[in-house]
Amino acid sequence: MELSVYSIEGKETGKKARLNDAVFSIEPNDHAIYLDVKQHLANARQGTHKSKERNEVHGSTRKLHKQKGTGGSRKGSIKNPLYRGGGRIFGPEPRDYSFKLNKKLKQLARKSALSYKAKEGSITILDSFPIDAPKTKTFEGFLKNFGATANKTLLVLPDRNRALYLSSRNIASANVITANELNTYEVLDAEKLFILEESLSTIDNLLSK
């Protein structure tokens, strides 16, 4: 597959970028995508939820009244879960929600996500993104040139660029990552995917093995 290469002004440069068919033109595997997205969201959970059980609640352990002869039900201490202020029965405990997936399955999921975007025509290849200092106006102008100001966008860089990251940080719908950080969730979440031409070789090395 070949795509035209654009400048950040939204104009064609006359160059063509060849996308690896083994990465951008496979038959998507929906179940692999499901598992990879599930893992991404699970790994993002803090898992710090906690409630007190009856042995952790502050209060007296004195038996409220004798076991028999009152005509009422049997009652233990004031920390009984049936009383207001008592402990919670089987409440949430801190836990780790993360789980592992095979490397090949994760690669398949990412290739499937990229293939979906390629079929939709949502991928744009950029020749470069020259920027010297953080400036949100510059990034907004870039999005405006491609008619993407109202879309969720993902810009994939070959290496970390602090100026570009800071320029996009105040735009809620824009996201900037490196090719090494590429993941299924963010690819699918973006309506428009911008990839710097230099990033293609890194993506190929990561996903075509």
Tell me: pLDDT of 209 over 80: no
Q: Residue 176's domain is classified under what CATH number?
A: 3.40.1370.10
3-state secondary structure of 188: helix
133 belongs to a structural domain: yes
86 belongs to a structural domain: no
Q: Give the model's confidence band at 74: pLDDT under 50 very low, under 70 low, under 90 confident, else very high.
A: confident
Q: How far apart are CA 2 and CA 146, in angstroms?
A: 19
69 belongs to a structural domain: no
163 belongs to a structural domain: yes
The answer to whether the predicted template modeling score (pTM) of the entire model surpasses 0.85 is: no
Residue 22 belongs to domain spanning: 2-28+102-207
Q: Residue 5: what pLDDT?
A: 93
132 belongs to a structural domain: yes
85 belongs to a structural domain: no
Residue 138 contacts residue 161 (beta carbons within 8 Å): no
**Number of domains, the chain:** 1
Partners of residue 154 on adjacent β-strands: 175, 193
Span 157-197, pLDDT tens digits? 999 999 999 999 999 999 999 999 999 999 999 999 999 99
191 belongs to a structural domain: yes
46 belongs to a structural domain: no
